[in-house]
Structure 1
Amino acid sequence: MTSTPPTGEKQEFNRSGLESLLTRRFFISPAFDIYNGVAGLYDYGPNGCAIKANLINFWRQHFVLNEDMLEVDCTSVTPEQVLVASGHVAKFSDNMVRDEVSKQYLRADHLLEDHIKKLLKDPKNTKEKIAEYEHVLAKAGDYPLKQLQETLNKYAVKSPEGNPISEAKPFNLMFKTQIGPSEGSVGYLRPETAQGIFVNFAKLLEYNGSKLPFAAAQIGNAFRNEIAPRSGLLRVREFTMAEIEHFVNPLDKSHSKFSEVADQLVNLLSAEAQDGDKKIIVMTFGEAVKSGLINNETLAYFMARTQSFLHTIGIKPNHLRFRQHQANEMAHYASDCWDAEIRSSFGWVECVGHADRSCFDLTSHAKASKKPLEVFEPFKNNEKKVIDIIKVDVNRGVLGKTFKGSAGEVSEYLKTVGENHELAYNFQKDLEAKGSVVIAVNGNEYIITKDMVTFKQDKKTISGSTYVPHVIEPSFGLGRIIYSLLEHSYWTREGDANRGVLSLPPIIAPVKASVLPLVNNEKLLPFIQQINKSLKEQGISSKVDDTGVAIGRKYARTDEIGIPFAITIDFQTVDDQTVTLRERDTTKQIRIPITELSLTIKKLCDHLIYWSDVVAKYPAYEPQAESK
């Protein structure tokens, strides 16, 4: 992977250089390092924490504040019945194999991918073989268990040590725990933050005046017990998510602000292209919706807002694309899904998922909890309508005799059938045609016969429609975004491969300004305190470096941390109350009065002015070559 620093020259990306910098400057560190660490667990140091906090603050501003979202903060420990209803207990798994010699567990699709990458390096490969291998490589992560096992067998895949492996089998990724002392109270650490929003839907709807559309948002940690974590922050066992659930009328997925983003260009990799030429389509969001490539305006609107967010924090536009889920990887309940993928030295990495989840979640939780999670929408102008309905009366005596202790739940189910005219009509039609109908209630099947129910045609006056909303979900993996941003920001000074720079935008940079006395001298001390206080009053984070090293070394430290502006206090400051202000990427410096310093940096950080404006306004300062 090559990178293009702000200075314009192309250079090969140096991952080991970045990782060394991140460790040395304590951005991140393996958790419990003094005990040799635990795979997939990382700690954020002071610089990493600051970047993460800045990212979250800007996310809140960009989405929660600007889109009038309702923010919640739900618990991480989740009762089992909630995750049974959502489908996580049954299906939230990855496939794993075991090294039959070392007994180490390995993620099966990753093992297959690594094996195929080795096969691709064979210089004797024909074009046909290369195409075959590339197809397997692209599809490995989406293979169902049976196809995955067949592919492992076909290519005689072994463990990294060359040992035979076991048959692949699913492994549920949730951390299981016990809530309280009772052994029957099972819980899990949440694998995503979304379920807390869904179970609070009724309260959120009421808070919003019972009006749709509206969006709820949550930022918090999620937990996945990865089989064999790798790739640093890209695949971990505890991570921070920022998720949005935008609830809409299923018959109207337009968005009132879509016109604001319709003309923005976007890089799209469609599901069809992934099986063909793999060519990126560049078009506007408006064109994508009009052509049907993106399912609806609301989904496209949030994709556009995500793109704007990622560009603003420093993700390079040519390293960002949206990839559509193919049929074999899309959730059964979803009608369209697009992943915002960022290219890094690890390849294209999913960082933000965008899904039209239909009404699956609310319907599942309503059924399991027996609490309605729906919306009543009055007709316009207080209009009333008369509709045909079918009443379903239950013969309790026959049900009780037939199903005994289960008769109650069967009766409740049949009542819900009667509340839906179309469902009741089809149920009656099937029962009359076949004589019996099999229903599934809470995982159990029951045979309903004609003598158990009676159907009556009736009419009902209604003043509005009741429906279960659909939900559009953007889901952000903040750790993956942070790592990708650090890669995109990292480069080295020309002629000095050991002098790393993080060109983080001011809005994300862990510290906005460094305060650097040229030398340790008592005459400069009052100015350090004055400037530092002035910066803090403007809400600008700063870092004083009053060590005895040369100013060039201080600038190098500033660059490695990603601090965009450096303030140098020298003996001219004592004479005329001015300081040197240096911009990180260009290393250009100007001379500015102390009285104008803090407000100028504040405007730069808020994008109210640009560095070119500052250079045009203030006199240039030409430093010694070694101090740049």
Structure 2
Amino acid sequence: MAPTTTTKTGQPFDRSQLDQLLRRRMFFTQSFEIYGGVAGLFDYGPPLCALQANFIDFWRKFFVIEEGMLEVEPTILTPHEVLKTSGHVDKFADWCCKDPKTGEIFRADHLVEEVLEARLKGDLEARGQAINANTGAEEDAKKKKKIKAQATAVKLDDATREEYESILAKIDNYDGQGLGELMTKHNIKNPATGGDLLLPVAFNLMFETSIGPSAQLKGYLRPETAQGQFLNFAKLLDFNNQQMPFASASIGKSFRNEISPRAGLLRVREFLMAEIEHFVDPEGGKKHPRFAEVADVELELLDRDVQLSGKTTTTRMKIGDAVAQGIVDNETLGYFLARIQAFLKFIGVDQTKVRFRQHMANEMAHYAADCWDAELLTSYGWIECVGCADRSAYDLDVHSKATKTPLLVRETRKEPLKVEEWVAEIEKKKFGPKFKKDGKTVEAAVEALSQELREKLSIDLKEKGKIEIPVEGVGNGTVELPKELITIEKRTRVENTREYTPNVIEPSFGIGRILYALIEHNFWTREGDEARGVISFPPIVAPTKVLLVPLSNHADFEPLIQRLAAKLRRLGISNRLDNSGASIGKRYSRNDELGTALGITVDFQSVKDNTFTLRDRDTTKQVRASEDEVIAAIQRLCDGSETWADVAKRLPAFEGQEVD
């Protein structure tokens, strides 16, 4: 069920009020609205564009610059062959079910989740317990209406209620067959009509297109930015002077043809991603040279074993302990989990609404060996906002094999390595005439024999004078090789160079989702002014950093305003002038809705002595100081090196002036 959420001041969170504010102040709007709109597509307005730009700027500083990453910008259009090799053509899918009578299509896991949550809500209503009213937006009204047929206030028995809660705890672990069985067992039908639904089938989420005028080159709009980074690995390694480990990074649009877009900005079909591919030597446990810096950082962890037990209880523990105990697989994965948490804290995400959830086996992406999601609690529930996956060597391996291009690292060993191995050699002069057109296939099968099997076959060859090996597509699937055609013997070779395919740890940020959660986490209303909201963005990401507020339109204020604005612009600090006829209090109040962090009031005292008041959005407290002191304080607040409490200690307080 949607959780009971509160604002940072402890008030009950009202999503409808926030939604109205975001649309009224043009944070976002429905794309193509005057044509009726398209589900899952939204246009960002000025405040959200500015918030996103500030987010990206800080993300680059926090990760790309701090970690010395190599940023690339791969193309969005991606040939079919690339995504076929990566596995996305065959495996990048969600499960959907169709009503054969109405043609309506549902995403199966979401349908099961919503119906069971509705029944649990009905159970609470029947028991006379309070229900969270975190709905109110238009889409939620439609959603409630659709599930009404399956959400009557009926008291469930304890066993059924516990079963529902257990299913919801591990809903992401069900495959298509499992979801179908749940739908049958729990009589889940079309919520609007009560009609039967077909069993779930896989639906590929990629948008297909054609490249070029002939339409012969099939392609897709990329579902992630990662593949372009993998394909450029050899060039990036060369750019990095063959030094390992290293990381690449990319920020750009990705596209997924969502079955049933919902939850506003949280589930859309076109979105911005920021992805990191950290290439690491798999030998030695994927250690990270800076892991000691974060080892004592505590995280809320929800591992897969807890989820499979039907629970969602988190454990708070140091990431160093989590890695040592094998809960988190390796240091590099743990390092990035801690860095992700630190980043989210800096930009203003409520740390009491953050958890890291480990993927269960059936929900794991086809390329992942392990994966943890940074989930943020919103009025829609826990939302995956950052994925941190161990992709092992999957991507580099498959692209290397498909293109016969080496995507690996070669490094000189400090000491030569002696390797004992079983070597299989064929007699090529006799081999060709014997197998003719199948010769290359048989030869490839010989090369693919494992060391263990070669050792066993060497004994058979010595004792029987012949061996049999499996060869797919030749004869009955096995081929007999006499000792005249093959020899297998143990040899020792010396390696001066080591070759290996790096493993990849991938933090992947869904920027739109993080921005929405950030807005929810920082939205509140002042006591006595509940009609207007406040969004407490930290200055480092606030869409507009400073509001310039002249006391009136008196001509003497104009040169001071222009000088302040110019100085702030030169420092890269966004500012906005509000010289409307409204009172200063109202001007500040309506800009508090936009998340504007600070305000400078220009009055007649400013004209006399070049001092100004500086206002903090959240406390509404003000200080007064010289122009240089005010500008310096703003700069430190906006780069995160000071807080308002620090400024208030240094500069003299100012009372009055802000009145309605």
Q: Aligning the two structures, in what range does the TM-score lie when normalised by the shorter sequence?
A: over 0.9
Q: Counterpart of 1:542 in structure 2: which amino acid?
A: N
Q: Which deviates the most, 165-174 or 426-435?
A: 426-435
Q: Find out whether 1:269 has 2:299 as its counterpart.
A: no
Alignment partners' CA distance in 2, 1:372 and 1:514: 55
Q: Deviations over 1:341-361 (max 9, x none)?
A: 110101111111111111111
User: Could you tell me how far 1:142 is from its partner in structure 2?
Assistant: 2.8
Q: Name the Cα RMSD after superposition.
A: 2.6
Alignment partners' CA distance in 2, 1:278 and 1:228: 26
Partner of 2:161: 130
Q: Find out whether 1:226 has 2:258 as its counterpart.
A: yes
Partner of 1:314: 348
Alignment partners' CA distance in 2, 1:319 and 1:426: 57
Contact conserved, 1:295 with 1:335, CA < 8 A, in 2? no
Partner of 2:364: 330
Alignment partners' CA distance in 2, 1:48 and 1:389: 62
Partner of 2:291: 258
**How has the CA–CA distance of structure 1 residues 386 and 617 changed in structure 2, closer, same or farther, with 3 Å as cutoff?**
closer
Q: Find out whether 1:346 has 2:380 as its counterpart.
A: yes
Q: Deviations over 1:106-165 (max 9, x none)?
A: 211111111112221233112211111112223333311111111111122122312332
User: Could you tell me how far 1:423 is from its partner in structure 2?
Assistant: 8.0
Q: Counterpart of 2:251 in structure 1: which amino acid?
A: I
Alignment partners' CA distance in 2, 1:571 and 1:459: 90
Q: Find out whether 1:71 has 2:71 as its counterpart.
A: yes
Contact conserved, 1:392 with 1:417, CA < 8 A, in 2? no
Of 494, 512, 520, the residue aligned with 2:527 is 494
Partner of 1:140: 171
**How has the CA–CA distance of structure 1 residues 613 and 138 changed in structure 2, closer, same or farther, with 3 Å as cutoff?**
closer
Partner of 2:229: 197
Contact conserved, 1:342 with 1:351, CA < 8 A, in 2? yes
Q: Counterpart of 2:159 in structure 1: which amino acid?
A: E
Partner of 2:249: 217
Q: Counterpart of 1:182 in structure 2: which amino acid?
A: S
User: Could you tell me how far 1:389 is from its partner in structure 2?
Assistant: 4.8
Q: Which deviates the most, 519-528 or 53-62?
A: 519-528
* 3-state SS in 1 of match to 2:411: strand
Alignment partners' CA distance in 1, 2:58 and 2:161: 44
Contact conserved, 2:70 with 2:249, CA < 8 A, in 1? yes
Contact conserved, 1:580 with 1:621, CA < 8 A, in 2? yes
Q: Which deviates the most, 18-27 or 509-518?
A: 18-27
Contact conserved, 2:7 with 2:523, CA < 8 A, in 1? no
Q: Deviations over 1:404-452 (max 9, x none)?
A: 4x865x378448637x856866888999998231449xxx999351349
Q: Counterpart of 1:45 in structure 2: which amino acid?
A: G
User: Could you tell me how far 1:199 is from its partner in structure 2?
Assistant: 1.1
Of 208, 211, 222, the residue aligned with 1:179 is 211
User: Could you tell me how far 1:625 is from its partner in structure 2?
Assistant: 6.4
Q: Counterpart of 2:177 in structure 1: which amino acid?
A: K
**How has the CA–CA distance of structure 1 residues 589 and 79 changed in structure 2, closer, same or farther, with 3 Å as cutoff?**
same
Alignment partners' CA distance in 2, 1:327 and 1:233: 28
Partner of 1:301: 335
Alignment partners' CA distance in 2, 1:400 and 1:244: 52
How many residues end up aligned between the 2 structures? 617
Alignment partners' CA distance in 1, 2:493 and 2:301: 48
Alignment partners' CA distance in 2, 1:62 and 1:416: 47
Q: TM-score, normalised by structure 1?
A: 0.92
User: Could you tell me how far 1:81 is from its partner in structure 2?
Assistant: 1.0
Alignment partners' CA distance in 2, 1:138 and 1:430: 53
User: Could you tell me how far 1:386 is from its partner in structure 2?
Assistant: 5.0
Of 580, 583, 598, the residue aligned with 1:547 is 580
Q: Find out whether 1:616 has 2:646 as its counterpart.
A: no
**How has the CA–CA distance of structure 1 residues 83 and 589 changed in structure 2, closer, same or farther, with 3 Å as cutoff?**
same
| Residues 76-95 of structure 1: pairs in structure 2 closer than 5 A | 76-95=76-95
* 3-state SS in 2 of match to 1:328: helix
Of 361, 365, 377, the residue aligned with 2:399 is 365
Q: Deviations over 1:533-587 (max 9, x none)?
A: 1111222110011111111111012201111101111122222222221100000
Partner of 2:501: 468
Of 400, 410, 413, the residue aligned with 1:376 is 410
Q: TM-score, normalised by structure 2?
A: 0.88
Q: Counterpart of 2:61 in structure 1: which amino acid?
A: Q
Of 603, 609, 620, the residue aligned with 1:576 is 609
Partner of 1:292: 326
Q: Counterpart of 2:356 in structure 1: which amino acid?
A: F
Contact conserved, 1:315 with 1:484, CA < 8 A, in 2? yes
Partner of 2:39: 39
Partner of 2:480: 450
Of 497, 517, 540, the residue aligned with 1:507 is 540
User: Could you tell me how far 1:10 is from its partner in structure 2?
Assistant: 1.2
Partner of 1:109: 109
* 3-state SS in 1 of match to 2:423: strand
Partner of 1:157: 188
Alignment partners' CA distance in 2, 1:519 and 1:99: 63
Q: Which deviates the most, 254-263 or 243-252?
A: 243-252
User: Could you tell me how far 1:339 is from its partner in structure 2?
Assistant: 0.8
* 3-state SS in 2 of match to 1:228: coil
Partner of 1:518: 551
Partner of 2:19: 19
Alignment partners' CA distance in 2, 1:602 and 1:400: 80
**How has the CA–CA distance of structure 1 residues 550 and 196 changed in structure 2, closer, same or farther, with 3 Å as cutoff?**
same
Q: Counterpart of 2:497 in structure 1: which amino acid?
A: G
Work out the percentage of aligned pairs sharing the same amino acid: 47
Contact conserved, 1:398 with 1:451, CA < 8 A, in 2? no
Any stretches of 5+ residues in structure 1 without a counterpart? none
Q: Deviations over 1:254-301 (max 9, x none)?
A: 111111000111111111111334321111111111111111111100
User: Could you tell me how far 1:217 is from its partner in structure 2?
Assistant: 1.0
Alignment partners' CA distance in 1, 2:17 and 2:28: 14
Alignment partners' CA distance in 2, 1:96 and 1:202: 39
Partner of 1:51: 51
Q: Which deviates the most, 199-208 or 324-333?
A: 324-333
User: Could you tell me how far 1:329 is from its partner in structure 2?
Assistant: 2.2
Contact conserved, 2:173 with 2:361, CA < 8 A, in 1? no
